[in-house]
Amino acid sequence: MKETPKKTSGVFLAILALLILLPFFLSKAYLHLAVIIGVHAILALSLGMVVGFVGQLSLCHAGFYGIGAYTSALLTFSHWPFWLALPAAGIISGLFGLLIGLPALKTRGIYFAITTLSFGVIMNIMLNNWVSLTNGPDGLSGLALPDPIPLWAKTSISFNTPRNYYFLVGVLLLFTIFVCRRLLNSRVGRAFRGVRDNEVLAECLGIRALRYKLTAFTIGAIFAGLAGSLYAHYLRYICPRDFSFAESFDLLVMVVVGGAQTILGPIVGALFILALPKFFGFEPVYGRVAFGIILVVVMIYMPRGIVGSFQKGFPSPKGGAHGPS
């Protein structure tokens, strides 16, 4: 059954109200987990732009995540304010997305996946071995917190507590959702769906598939870079192992499990994958085994993902009940 705009808006408002009230009832440990889930929800959504919107299996998303994190860290070490380093991290990651995507997206299927995997591996090797810039495997520590936002009467909003940082991450997550919805309910979104569903037919109809695939790939890289900046300045420490292929795999699991062709799906996937091991007390190694089992089960029995299977493309964009949203 197709969701009505009023019902869809009601659901989003209810979720938004819950998320605003949630941090006032959570302990510090759970607030920390909520911040990490929020960062990964942005990452999963940005990967969903590539996997779900244009149907390209990218395996290098952690590379863009790492570029954003290291860019922001190095700029703040050079006395840039966080509020300039944050967009700069997104821009630099987007430029790398453009440079990598231009040759990579000329390939298809498994060849594109292997190409992006290679870039992700090369990027991780560079982070480990370019010691003069990245400090190698030891990583970078002592990163600054985001600068306080001045208000009135000598008051300001600081981000030295998990609760305040939770709201900062929440604002960027809402912005990411807004961009996704605007894209998919536009002419660009219709082109995305055409390329994803049948690239050859789309080309015959005059849609320049490479241009639209590159657009989705670059925008996804930009938001991955922004998420990397938020992550770096929250933990105040980054190292290359945070941006390895394992992280790219985890993000892909989040997208597929939640529902690649929906907006809500990657967010649900991030919540499901990150909260589940904490809830059951899994060790990290057993958590990865569980991820693999969950991925296989979902792909067999729920090929649309959790949200896609229950809502059939929630929320449906203009132009079709079964397209991404």
pLDDT of residue 145: 92
* Least confidently predicted of 21-30, 119-128, 197-206: 21-30
Q: In degrees rounded to 5, what are phi and psi of residue 209? A: -60, -45
Average pLDDT over residues 25-40: 90
Evaluate whether residue 260 is within a structural domain.
no
Cα separation of 279 and 136, whole Å?
34
Distances from the Cα of 130 to the Cα of 69, 106, 134, 262, angstroms: 15, 30, 6, 38
Region of 58 on the Ramachandran plot (φ > 0 left; ψ -120 to 50 alpha; else beta) = beta
pLDDT of residue 324: 38
SS3 130: coil
Secondary structure E strands in the chain: 140-141, 149-150, 156-157, 237-238
Cα separation of 318 and 17, whole Å?
26
Q: Amino acid letter at 39?
A: V
Average pLDDT over residues 41-70: 95
When divided into structural domains, the chain yields a total of 1
Tokens 């390895």 -> residue: 244
Evaluate whether residue 258 is within a structural domain.
no
Q: In degrees rounded to 5, what are phi and psi of residue 149? A: -100, 115
Evaluate whether residue 77 is within a structural domain.
yes
Tokens 């082109």 -> residue: 191
Percent of all residues in the chain with a pLDDT value above 90, rounded to a whole number: 59
Res 283 pLDDT > 70 = no
Average pLDDT over residues 222-229: 97
pLDDT of residue 316: 40
* Least confidently predicted of 63-72, 148-157, 287-296, 309-318: 309-318
pLDDT, mean over the chain: 86
Write out the residue range of the structural domain in which residue 45 sits. 30-148+156-243
- Decide which of 7 and 232 is more confident: 232
- Decide which of 183 and 9 is more confident: 183
Evaluate whether residue 280 is within a structural domain.
no
Res 168 pLDDT > 70 = yes
Which of 53, 51, 61 is CA-nearest to residue 116? 61
pLDDT of residue 319: 40
pTM exceeding 0.85: yes
Cα separation of 321 and 231, whole Å?
35
Q: In degrees rounded to 5, what are phi and psi of residue 189? A: -60, -40
pLDDT of residue 277: 74
Res 20 pLDDT > 90 = no
Evaluate whether residue 322 is within a structural domain.
no
Res 196 pLDDT > 50 = yes
Which of 243, 222, 221 is CA-nearest to residue 232? 243
Cis peptide bond upstream of 315, omega within 30: yes
Cα separation of 52 and 176, whole Å?
15
Average pLDDT over residues 8-20: 70
Res 323 pLDDT > 60 = no
Query: Which residues, 6+ apart, have CB-to-CB distance to 70 below 8 Å?
Result: 127, 134, 140, 228, 232, 238
140 forms beta bridges with 238
Evaluate whether residue 218 is within a structural domain.
yes
Average pLDDT over residues 273-290: 72
For residue 255, give both structure tokens: 């997208």
Evaluate whether residue 117 is within a structural domain.
yes
Evaluate whether residue 140 is within a structural domain.
yes
pLDDT of residue 1: 35
